[in-house]
């Protein structure tokens, strides 16, 4: 009797567990079938397109990274050179002022006092410890720029001049760039031009009187600019 009861219990257990086992097996089969669903051509092409885009993007990032690493190395080298450059800047600024002083001394003597004062201010400036090298360089470059502009403009000034032992308190000076520098007395009787070969004034003929007068009026904006002929003494040649 016990044997029959045990056998009946086992049969009941098998009959109860069978539906649950069948359900789990069915779900697993459905998952496998879903995973085995074939991929369409469009889906495959889209995946390839995404992969190609990622490859290109990665290459771009790699090049950018290499460029940034090269820039970092360049900046590191530049930083290492800063102390040496800082030591070289003050002597360089001093040489630039010395060169400017020599240039003014050898140049045509227009605005001589103004230009000499500018050089003297710069010589004092480079010796000051309370002014940065950047400000010193800016002022020196500015002075050189002013000298450069002198060679491209023209102007008329009035000042004293000694001519043949006589001092004329007011003489008209005409400067055209650095190629011509002439004077004319107020009565227009005496005229001369600066000779760079001898560093002195030389007289010029009366045939230039009208052209010099006209050029002076143009430089003072008294008449409209026009073409005039003025005497020019060529520089010394070997």
Q: Please provide the DSSP assignment of 97-120 as one string.
A: HHHHHHHHHHS--TTHHHHHHHHH
Measured distance CA(153)–CA(180) in Å, rounded: 11
List all residues 6 or more positions away from 200 whose beta carbon is below 8 Å from its beta carbon: 194
Measured distance CA(128)–CA(59) in Å, rounded: 54
Residues facing residue 180 across a β-bridge: 176
The whole-number pLDDT of residue 11 equals: 43
Q: What's CA 87's distance to the chain center, in Å?
A: 23
The whole-number pLDDT of residue 1 equals: 43
In the block, which residue shows the tokens 């009797």? 1
Structure tokens at 120: 């003297």
The whole-number pLDDT of residue 27 equals: 60
Regions of the chain short of the pLDDT cut 50? 1-18, 21-22
Residue 153, CB half-sphere, CA atoms under 13 Å: how many?
11
> C-alpha angle 99/178/110, rounded to 5°?
75
Residues facing residue 156 across a β-bridge: 174
Measured distance CA(160)–CA(185) in Å, rounded: 10
Structure tokens at 164: 């043949």
H/E element, 184: strand 180-184
179 SS3 class: coil
């Amino acid at each position: 009797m016990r044997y029959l009861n045990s056998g009946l219990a086992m049969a009941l257990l098998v009959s109860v567990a069978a539906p649950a086992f069948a359900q789990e097996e069915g779900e697993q089969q459905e998952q496998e079938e879903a995973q085995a669903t074939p991929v369409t051509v469009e889906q495959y092409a889209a995946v390839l397109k995404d992969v190609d885009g990622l490859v290109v993007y990665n290459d771009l990032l790699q090049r950018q990274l290499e460029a940034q690493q090269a820039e970092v190395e360049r900046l590191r080298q530049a930083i290492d050179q800063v102390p040496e450059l800082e030591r070289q800047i003050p002597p360089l600024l001093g040489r630039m002022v010395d060169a400017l002083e020599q240039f003014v001394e050898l140049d045509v003597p227009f605005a001589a006092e103004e230009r000499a004062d500018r050089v003297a201010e710069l010589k004092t400036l480079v010796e000051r410890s309370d002014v940065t090298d950047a400000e010193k360089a800016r002022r020196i470059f500015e002075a050189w720029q002013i000298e450069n502009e002198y060679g491209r403009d023209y102007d008329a000034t009035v000042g004293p001049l000694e001519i043949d032992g006589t001092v004329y308190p007011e003489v008209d000076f005409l400067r055209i760039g650095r190629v011509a520098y002439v004077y004319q007395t107020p009565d227009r009787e005496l005229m001369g031009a600066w000779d760079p070969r001898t560093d002195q004034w030389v007289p010029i003929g009366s045939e230039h009187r009208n052209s010099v007068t006209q050029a002076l009026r143009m430089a003072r904006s008294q008449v409209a600019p026009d073409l005039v002929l003025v005497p020019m003494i060529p520089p010394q040649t070997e």
